[in-house]
Structure 1
Amino acid sequence: MAGNRWFRPEVYPLFAAVGVAIGICGFQLVRNVCINPEVRVSKENRAAGVLENQAEGEKYAEHFLRKFVRGKRPEIMPTLNSFFADPERS
């Protein structure tokens, strides 16, 4: 009977939202552990101390998504926003 309480159709969006949030957190964790230049998992890399490798840090910080949205306006629907907000279009 307890399974019937949690697996009702009204709860599916909640499961989906929590699943997406866990997926995003997991992706960020794996990304940081694998390619972040400031995270050192192996003992040899940790013994190196503070490294001054600006190019590797720049490569990590300037990923594809950041480069893609750099010149764009922060709008979700730019054509719809300009249709209702632009006085020149009337």
Structure 2
Amino acid sequence: MASSSTLKRWLRPEVYPLFAAVGVAVGICGMQLVRNISTNPEVRVTKENRAAGILNNFEEGEKYSQHVVRKFVRGKPPQIMPSVNSFFSDPN
């Protein structure tokens, strides 16, 4: 009986944006977790890799830190909407 009232409370159209926002946040966290476990040069999952100790693999670290998103954003102004900011802040 309590589950039907909970279902009626949470499965309303007003709550869908909340579910979407939480779903996107969980998806981003999961993507970052998988990225760190699979491609981070400092993370060693298997026992053989852990036994190797500290490796000086600078090329792999550079490849990991300079990923596609960072290369895309490099050289762009650090603003969300630069045209709107310049419209309201620059005098004519």
User: TM-score, normalised to structure 1's length?
Assistant: 0.90
Q: Tell me the equivalent position of 1:18.
A: 22
Identity %: 72
2:80 to 73, 76, 79: 76
Distance in 2 (alpha carbons) for counterparts of 1:16 and 1:67: 28
Give structure 1 stretches of 5+ with no counterpart.
none
Q: How many residue pairs were aligned?
A: 88
Give the letter aligned to residue 37 of structure 1: P
Q: CA RMSD in A?
A: 1.1
Q: Tell me the equivalent position of 2:41.
A: 37
Distance in 1 (alpha carbons) for counterparts of 2:68 and 2:79: 19
Deviation at 1:6, TM superposition (A): 1.1
Deviation at 1:31, TM superposition (A): 0.3
Question: Which consecutive segments of 4 or more residues in structure 1 shift more than 6 A?
Answer: none
Give structure 2 stretches of 5+ with no counterpart.
none
Give the letter aligned to residue 74 of structure 2: R
Distance in 2 (alpha carbons) for counterparts of 1:42 and 1:55: 21
Deviation at 1:45, TM superposition (A): 0.6
Listed as ranges, the matches of 1:53-72 within 5 Å are: 53-72=57-76
CA deviation digits over 1:30-69, x for unaligned, max 9? Answer: 0011111011111111110110111110110011111221
